[in-house]
Structure 1
Amino acid sequence: MAFRLLQHRGVDGSRAVIAALGNHASFVPGFESIRALAAHAIAQGQTLEAAVAAAGQGDAVDLMSEHAAGRLIAPIDHEDNARLLMSGTGLTHLGSAEGRDKMHRDAAASDKQTDSMRMFLEGVAGGKPAADDIGQQPEWFYKGNGSALVGPGEPLSSPAFAQDGSEEPELAGIYLIGPDGTPFRLGLCLANEFSDHITERHNYLWLAHSKLRQAALGPELLVGTPPQHIEGASRIYRDGALLWEKPFLSGEANMSHTIANLEAHHFKYDLFRRPGDVHVHFFGTATLSFADGVTTEEGDVFEIEAAPFTLPLRNPLAKAEAVAVMVREL
C-alpha cells in the first residue's frame, strides 16, 4: 500500500501534516510542514515513515472532502522562496522525442537529425547505467523558485508575453538537502510542468525561455521506492466539457534514464547541495496536448491523475496582465 504525506491549511490558516496509507488518513501531531518533518527525520536518522510512526496518530481526515474544500496545499514549500529551486530534465521518456523532434524538424525544414533526437538517442543508449555508475547526462533546465510553485486547484498563470500555455503531465522528485550537504529524496509528486511550446518550437535555444513558467504539484507526496510503472491520464476541460484526453506513462520502466542517473547529474553541482534548500525536480513526459494540435485558452482546466496517487491535480489556466519593466541606471 502506498504511503503518502500531504500538507493541510485550515480555515484559520493553521497548517498541519497528514499521513495516508491506503484509504486511511490522519494528522501527524507536532509538525506544521513536511519540510519540518523531513528535517526532524534527517536529524534523528529515521525514515519519514518511522518519524510519522514515532509522532503518533492524530485525528482522522477525509482526504476527498478536504481536497474538494481546497484545504490541501502543495506538499512542499519553503518560507523563503529563494531556498526552493525548481528544475527539470527533458527527453527522458520513451517516445518523448517524437513530438519534440517533429516540432524542431518542421521549424528547421531539414532532414538532418535534430539536437533533440541526438540527445534522446544518447539517453536511450546510456541513461540507464549499471548500479553506482553515472550514465549519459540529460537535458536540464531551470524552472524557477518557490514563488512559481502552484498548489492543487490554484490557477496556472501564463505571462502576458507568452505565446502558449500548455500542460506537461509528469512526476517530480522532492528533495531536502541535509546539514552536511547530502540530498534526501522525500518522495514523488504528480506534477504539471507548465510550458510555452510555441516559444520552444521557434528555436531549440529558446527552451530556457519556454520553461520559465509556473508549475503545479499534486497534493500527495508518495514516499518510498518509486514505482517502476505509473500509468495515468491527462485531460483538458473547456467550459465544463472534456476537450482532450490522453493516457501518459511514467516510472523507470517507461523512461530512457534511471531516476538515480537524473539525480546524479543534478546534484553533482555544489550549488545544488546547499544545506536546508528544497529542490523540486521534474522528470519529463512523453504526452502533450500541444503535440496533438490543441491550443489552450484562458479558463481551460488541466487535470492529471495516476495511481498510486489517489487525488487528481487540477489547475485552471489564467493569463497574467502585462507588466511594464524599465531598467534604470544608478
Structure 2
Amino acid sequence: MSLLQFRDASGNRGVAALGEDRVPRRVTGATSVRALAQGAIDAGHDLAAAVAAAGLGDVVDLDQVTLLAPIDHDDPAHCILTGTGLTHLGSAEGRDQMHRAAKADAAPTDSMKMFLMGVEGGKPAAGTEGAQPEWFYKGNGLSLVAPGQPLVSPAFAKDAGEEPEIAGVYLVASDGTPVRIGFALANEFSDHVTERGNYLWLAHSKLRPAAIGPELLVGELPQEVIGTSRIIRDGATLWEKPFLSGEANMSHSLANLEHHHFKYALFRAPGDVHVHFFGTATLSFSDGVTTQEGDVFEIEAAPFALPLRNTVATDTHSPVAVRAL
C-alpha cells in the first residue's frame, strides 16, 4: 500500500491510499499522513491498520487535485532533512573521480576510504554497530518540494544536479522512539561543481531543496529497487539511465544507516518528522551533463506507481548583509 497527500480544488487537504489495484481512494477523515501515523502509534498498531480502521471512500482523480509531498509538518522546523552518501555499490566512482583530480598521487581518496569502510562493515549482524557512513544535513521542511513543483537552484550555485534515490520517512514517537512510516522516491538535488571544487564544501553543496513523492510506500522496501532517472529538455529526453537501490545494491544496511542517524539524541525529539536520503550511484553529472533552467527531472521505479517529476528553476541572489542591533 502507498499513501498520497493532496489538496482538492476547494483547497481542502486529503489523504489517498493506493492498494494492489493502484486506484487512489480517499482515506476517510484523514487530512495528513503525519496525523494518521501519529494515531497509529498512539493506538499501538501499524499504518495499514490505521487506514483500514478509517476506511476508504471515493476514488480520487489525480488530474483534478494538487499532489503534495507525502509527508510534511505544520511547523517546517520540525521536519528535518538529512542524508548519507557513498552507500551504494558503485557510488564511490564518480566521487572518487571528482576528488582525485586534486591529488597528484595514486593514494586512495577520502571518498574511496569511506566507501570501502561501508563495503567492509556497513551490514553488521543484528544488534551490533556497523561502519559509520558519510552524513549530511539537507535542511528542514522549508526545503521539501512537492511533486510537480520547481526545484529552485540559488543564483550562486555552480550546478543544479539531480540525485535519484530512496528516502526513508520517520516520525518520532512520544517516548523518543523513531518510527519508520514508509519510503518515498526522492530527488536529492545537489551542487556537484561546488563539491568537486573541494570535498570540504560538501556541506554547502547539499544545502539545496529536495523533492520526494508522490507516494509513501508503507511497509518494507524491496531488497532490489530498479528505476530510471531521466532529464527532459524542450520535450525530448536529453539523458536517461537506470538507477539501483535497495539493500541488495547497497554497501550499508538500512538499519545501520538509521542507527547512525538516530543515535544522536537531538534527532529523537517527540513529534519531529525526519526525511533521510539513502544515497545513489547514478548522476547525470558523472556523464558530463550540465542542466539548465526549464529541464525536467523524472524519476520512476517499481514498486512506486507514480513517477516523481520536477522542473529546474533559478532563484535570484544578492549579497546578504547582516544588520547589527
Structures share a fold, TM > 0.5? yes
User: Do 1:7 and 1:34's aligned partners in 2 also have CA atoms closer than 8 Å?
Assistant: yes
Distance 1:287 1:109 in 2: 26
Matched, 1:32 2:27: no
How far apart are residue 30 of structure 1 and its match?
Answer: 1.5
Q: How does 1:130-169 map to 2 (within 5 A)?
A: 130-169=125-164
- Counting matched residue pairs gives 324
User: Do 1:107 and 1:201's aligned partners in 2 also have CA atoms closer than 8 Å?
Assistant: no
1:17 corresponds in structure 2 to 15
Return 5+ residue gaps in structure 2 as ranges: none
User: Do 2:156 and 2:317's aligned partners in 1 also have CA atoms closer than 8 Å?
Assistant: yes
User: What is the one-letter code of the residue matched to 1:276?
Assistant: G
How far apart are residue 225 of structure 1 and its match?
Answer: 1.3
Distance 1:57 1:83 in 2: 29
Q: How does 1:110-149 map to 2 (within 5 A)?
A: 110-149=105-144
How far apart are residue 153 of structure 1 and its match?
Answer: 0.5
1:296 is matched with which residue: 287, 291, 302? 291
Secondary structure in structure 2 of the residue aligned to 1:108: coil
How far apart are residue 12 of structure 1 and its match?
Answer: 1.4
Name which of structure 1's ranges 248-257 and 51-60 shifts more when overlaid on structure 2: 51-60
2:2 is matched with which residue: 4, 24, 30? 4
User: What is the one-letter code of the residue matched to 1:6?
Assistant: L
User: Do 1:19 and 1:27's aligned partners in 2 also have CA atoms closer than 8 Å?
Assistant: yes
1:49 corresponds in structure 2 to 48
Q: How does 1:1-330 map to 2 (within 5 A)?
A: 3-22=1-20, 23-62=22-61, 66=62, 68-69=63-64, 71-330=66-325
Distance 1:328 1:70 in 2: 43
Distance 1:12 1:153 in 2: 19
Distance 2:152 2:173 in 1: 32
Secondary structure in structure 2 of the residue aligned to 1:140: strand
How far apart are residue 61 of structure 1 and its match?
Answer: 2.4
How far apart are residue 70 of structure 1 and its match?
Answer: 5.5
How far apart are residue 108 of structure 1 and its match?
Answer: 2.6
Secondary structure in structure 2 of the residue aligned to 1:136: coil
How far apart are residue 106 of structure 1 and its match?
Answer: 1.2
User: Do 2:8 and 2:64's aligned partners in 1 also have CA atoms closer than 8 Å?
Assistant: no
Task: State the superposition RMSD in angstroms.
Answer: 0.9
**Deviation per CA, 1:138-161, whole angstroms, max 9, x where unpaired?**
000000000010010000000010
Distance 1:190 1:70 in 2: 20
How far apart are residue 69 of structure 1 and its match?
Answer: 4.7
TM-score, normalised with respect to structure 2 = 0.98
Distance 1:38 1:31 in 2: 10
How far apart are residue 323 of structure 1 and its match?
Answer: 3.5
User: Do 1:189 and 1:220's aligned partners in 2 also have CA atoms closer than 8 Å?
Assistant: yes
**Deviation per CA, 1:256-290, whole angstroms, max 9, x where unpaired?**
00000000000000000000000000000000000
How far apart are residue 132 of structure 1 and its match?
Answer: 1.8
Distance 1:311 1:264 in 2: 30
User: What is the one-letter code of the residue matched to 2:49?
Assistant: A
Name which of structure 1's ranges 50-59 and 168-177 shifts more when overlaid on structure 2: 50-59
User: What is the one-letter code of the residue matched to 2:295?
Assistant: D
How far apart are residue 183 of structure 1 and its match?
Answer: 0.4
